[in-house]
A = this chain, B = another copy of it.
């Protein structure tokens, strides 16, 4: 597939995700970690305008200089950003304006790409832009779920949405021998800077489950009083549980004694055989501790992953998000991409049911603060 086709495909998928939305759904920001869908579609557009069109396409005319201010995210190099908590206050530019901006940039991009003569540097930026947009596609889907799932009317996103089912293995834990292993990305194709370089690690013998924890299993933890027993929790997790009065995964509602769950189809009774999701690292850790087990490290996960089915849930690991040996930031704004978040976050491995197709890799390192739950997170046990 040539670059223009790739561009078209990734851009159209973003449009398709937004298709079921009402105009109003594009605007709100119920919590700081969720961005308004309007912002996502503006920001991914801004990325191509800022890093491709403006520096490399001589004939390009900027759409509107104010948009740099509105749709910049964390790239401090490029200009003043809209304070993140303020994004949900902006009724303008309207959705129509943002779509006009999107079309304007797309048209320019098609012209630019039609010129041919794309240098390897620019191609690298383009591929980064595609991957960046794919990341925002997943954020769009989880942010939309948050926006609709926290509305008292519990509107469905897609009445025909089908959650993929996990493959269940009846085999026991997978055992991996002690020894030196190689982890990290190497080879052709795209990878983020945080996956580089491929390097050796020494692992002790360990065992890892071929299956993710299910709702039924997690319910046992709840029913056993797991949220009320400090012994299973980190000190910070225990504070989090008590401050926020957490009693169950996000989107679970106990209505008259029956557990329900908000899904893309709306509010439903809880499906016990589905794999549990929307839990924080603190909950994943506490569940593992209650079972007398633990979470795998990211390297254990990477080494064992070829032996189990993965891709439904972002799986919390015990590993902190830290640089690999030899990690180096790219110069300029692009270099702000990953390295600046390498403190205080946990690594998640795998992918989720809403990760964009072809966006998964066994070396992929996702990362979030330990209390966040709005992604499709899950639990795999190790010992």
Binding site for B on A (CB under 8 A): 22-30, 38, 66, 69-70, 74, 76-77, 82, 86, 88-95, 147-148, 150-153, 155, 180, 199-202, 204, 206, 230-231, 233-238, 281-282, 285, 294, 318-320, 322-323, 325-326, 340-344, 346, 370
Contacts and interface: CB of A to CB of B under 8 A. Distances in A.
A319 B322 CA distance: 8
Given A66-B152, A153-B66, A180-B180, A91 B340 contact: no
Contacts of A202: 180, 200-202
B94 A344 contact: no
A105 to B, nearest CB: 18
9 contacts: A24-B24, A24-B91, A28-B89, A201-B202, A206-B325, A236-B344, A281-B343, A319-B322, A320-B322
A157 to B, nearest CB: 12
Nearest to A339: B234
Nearest to A31: B89
The 8 closest A-B pairs by CB, nearest first: A320-B320, A30-B89, A24-B91, A202-B202, A204-B325, A25-B91, A23-B23, A235-B340
B343 A234 contact: yes
A27 B91 contact: yes
Contacts of A180: 180, 202
Secondary structure of the A contact surface, majority rule = mixed
Given A28-B27, A200-B202, A234-B343, A92 B155 contact: yes
A28 B91 contact: yes
A343 to B, nearest CB: 5
A93 B30 contact: no
Given A94-B22, A343-B237, A150 B89 contact: yes
Contact of A234 (B92, B237, B340): B340
B323 A23 contact: no
Nearest to A29: B89
A77 B77 CA distance: 44
Given A70-B152, A74-B235, A234-B343, A88 B91 contact: no
Instruction: Give the interface centre of A70, A88, A92, A238 by most chain B CB atoms within 10 Å.
Output: A92
A322 B318 contact: yes
Given A88-B88, A285-B343, A320-B320, 19 more contacts: A22-B94, A23-B24, A24-B94, A24-B95, A25-B91, A28-B91, A76-B230, A82-B152, A88-B89, A89-B147, A89-B151, A91-B147, A180-B180, A199-B204, A204-B325, A206-B325, A236-B344, A238-B340, A281-B343
Nearest to A150: B89
Nearest to A37: B91
A294 B26 CA distance: 42
Contact of A341 (B22, B23, B38, B234): B234
A262 to B, nearest CB: 13
